[in-house]
Structure 1
Amino acid sequence: MSEQTGAPDAFRGGANPSAPPTVREARFPDDTVDVSRLVDAYLRQTEDEKVARGLASPLEGGRLPDRYQSEVDDPARAFASATVLLASLPTGPVGIVVLTVDPRGSGEIKRFWVDPAARGAGVGRLLLDAVADRVDGSLRLSVWRWRDDALRSYRRAGFVEVPSWESREQLACLERPARSAESRTL
């Protein structure tokens, strides 16, 4: 399992600018706590945003819906058929992406999260680059339409909006076409 590094764009949250973020594949059970923490933060923010927009009810007793709580409780099992990548700064893991790849080599990003304190440090871009290195075909994802910063980042990375495959309202479906063989070797 290789580790990728990237030069930081700008650092916020007290991160050390001399140490760029790194990305590596998560290892279970060693990374269970960090993966759970990052997935939990992503899911809770998403649920809060959905509640604020009238798309969901507040969490009962602070517990996520079962379909999501299982990802937090046992990420190794929940993501057994996926690749989980962790991005880290010297302070520890600050970002995660969950990627599935089909037999044709096309991929789908299922979860993508960078801790708010680490945003602007090049973590998200490094995670997207790491995903792109693992996918030969097209790459797709869905993102809530109100997440303007995320939509801008995905569009800068070559994603375009496509007809929705989602039944949930307010989700934009995006796809990045397969890279040519020439662009993969550059």
Structure 2
Amino acid sequence: MSDQREVAVVRWPGRTPSAGAGPAELLAAYHLTTQAEKGEAVAGVEDLPDRYRVEIADPQTAFADDVVLLALSGDSAVGCLVVTAPADGRSEVKRLWTDPEFRGSGIASSLVGAALAQAAESGVGAVRLSVWKWRAGAIALYERLGFTVTESWDERDDLVCMERAL
């Protein structure tokens, strides 16, 4: 018998209101982990910078112009990704996160694939992203999916900027 769990990628909010809080819990895990990896660990969500707390508290408003994709296992949200609204002929992938219990099962690849399809439907010519340089697994995933390192558009140190033409 296989331990493989079926996971569906859906647009949020959408057909699955039973997905509980939607992406809020995943976004909290993403931001708390990122703060710790940057050497700026905080005790909880209330200690995160304002811009991140807003995303967690009300993702529907924070990403109102964007597309939020969720990976669902049953009624549980186990992965998320945000595709920004098109600007200057491209969209950006942000906040890719998979619940650690579900890693290694293709969820991140499925989310990025759905993001690329969403971006193509919106008519953009490219998708870009930034990733912390210590996230070697994520960088390798993006490279496998056709992203290449490009000149940085972000002033923060330790970010790798990547882009893929559609």
Give the TM interval when normalised to the shorter protein.
0.7 to 0.9
* Whole-angstrom distance in 2 between the partners of 1:168 and 1:66: 18
| Residue 37 (structure 1) aligns with | 25
**Structure 1 residue runs without a partner (length 5+):** 1-10, 179-186
| Residue 59 (structure 1) aligns with | 42
RMSD: 2.1
Q: CA-to-partner distance for each residue in 1:90-125, whole Å, 9 max, x for gaps?
A: 362100001113156521012110111101111111
Counterpart mapping for 1:73-152 below 5 A: 73-90=57-74, 92-102=76-86, 106-136=90-120, 137-152=125-140
Aligned residues: 158
Q: CA-to-partner distance for each residue in 1:148-172, whole Å, 9 max, x for gaps?
A: 0000000000000000001000000
Moved segments of 4+, more than 3 Å = 28-32
* Whole-angstrom distance in 2 between the partners of 1:103 and 1:150: 24
- Residues 21 and 121, structure 1, Cα contact 8 Å, conserved in 2: no
Instruction: Provide the secondary structure at the position in 2 that maps to 1:167.
Output: coil
Q: Which moved more, 1:29-38 or 1:111-120?
A: 29-38
**Structure showing greater Rg:** 1
* Whole-angstrom distance in 1 between the partners of 2:47 and 2:20: 19
| Residue 181 (structure 1) aligns with | none
Instruction: Provide the secondary structure at the position in 2 that maps to 1:107.
Output: strand
**Structure 2 residue runs without a partner (length 5+):** none
Identity %: 37
Match for residue 167 of structure 1 among 143, 155, 159: 155
* Whole-angstrom distance in 2 between the partners of 1:134 and 1:109: 11
